[in-house]
Amino acid sequence: MGYSNANSADLTKLQTFPRDRFTGLPDWVAEGCDAALDHCLNQAQGHSARKRLEFESLASEDHATWVVMRFLQRQGMLDSAFGCKAVEPVMLIWGVPVPNTPRGSELRSKIVSILRGLHEQEGWFTEPDVILDFERYGLVIVEAKLRSRNEIKKPQYSGWHRYLNDLTFRDAELAKCTGRYQLVRNWRLGLELAQNRPFKLVNLAPVFDCKEREMLAKLRLSFRTSRKHRFLLRRWDQMLGSSHPPSWLVEYSRKRGLLSK
């Protein structure tokens, strides 16, 4: 185990880095991980290299996302975890097909085309943590958090105009006032990608405090939600609880702080 070089002698305040990032986990969990880290959608200013470095930390939400989603995929439980029909979805993690299949590559190409249509800069593309395509049964985008909060931008930020329109938002000004820029981007991308199919945007975290729930409730009001298009809050333990996780995943979840207290 290694520790960050923060100016403190208190180990609880230091970031910890295990020598082996997959210690205690089955070998299959790591399969495809390096390729996903190298080819993530956002390649701006060394993003991929920073992502790989942060991935080594015990506080990494990307690491938690990878492990939990790969477990659910292997168990054939992605459908039940996200309330979709019993069909095996195409899964993209950070915009990379896992596993790499022609259907996955086709989905990534569609995403890139949409983001270019929104005039995003090459290399600075919106990068949802997880995209699940259940074919005609719908689409799910997951924005996962562990210790960090949802990305916030001020209402004056220049990037809002790319995503806010009357077709996908009821109240663009309210969306900006919440500041939840990353979720706004994912909502717009999801609706464009789903087209006439059902769509769910899921914000995943160990817990949502009162202030965050209040802001996300306002954000939901700003979205053009319907019975077909939904914005949901989910906790990590809600997903894991229904899967009867094995002992290695229970221990992993405890160490990583995935479970609400």
List, for residues 159-178, the tens digit of each pLDDT value.
999 999 999 999 999 999 99
Residue 52: band (very low, low, confident or very high) from pLDDT cuts 50, 70, 90: confident
Helix ranges, the chain (H): 33-38, 47-55, 61-74, 78-81, 102-117, 172-178, 181-194, 210-222, 236-241, 247-256
- What pLDDT score was predicted for residue 40? 92
CB under 8 Å to 9, separation ≥6 — which residues?
Answer: none
Range scoring the smallest mean pLDDT among 69-83, 191-205, 247-261: 247-261
Q: Which residue, among 149, 128, 112, has the nearest Cα to 201 in the 3D structure? A: 128
- What pLDDT score was predicted for residue 203? 98
Say if residue 161 is exposed, middle or buried (CB neighbours under 10 Å; 0-12, 13-18, 19+): exposed
- Say whether 43 sits in a helix, a strand or coil: coil
Provide the residue type at 27 as one letter: D
Residue 7: band (very low, low, confident or very high) from pLDDT cuts 50, 70, 90: low
Q: Which residue, among 99, 104, 126, 118, has the nearest Cα to 43 in the 3D structure? A: 126
Residue 8: band (very low, low, confident or very high) from pLDDT cuts 50, 70, 90: low
Range scoring the smallest mean pLDDT among 112-121, 221-230, 248-257: 248-257
Mean local confidence (pLDDT), 105-133: 95
CB under 8 Å to 226, separation ≥6 — which residues?
Answer: none
Q: Give 122's strand partners.
A: none
Residue 29 has pLDDT above 60, yes or no: yes
Residue 14: band (very low, low, confident or very high) from pLDDT cuts 50, 70, 90: low
Residue 151 has pLDDT above 80, yes or no: yes
Q: Are 237 and 214 in contact (CB under 8 A)?
A: no
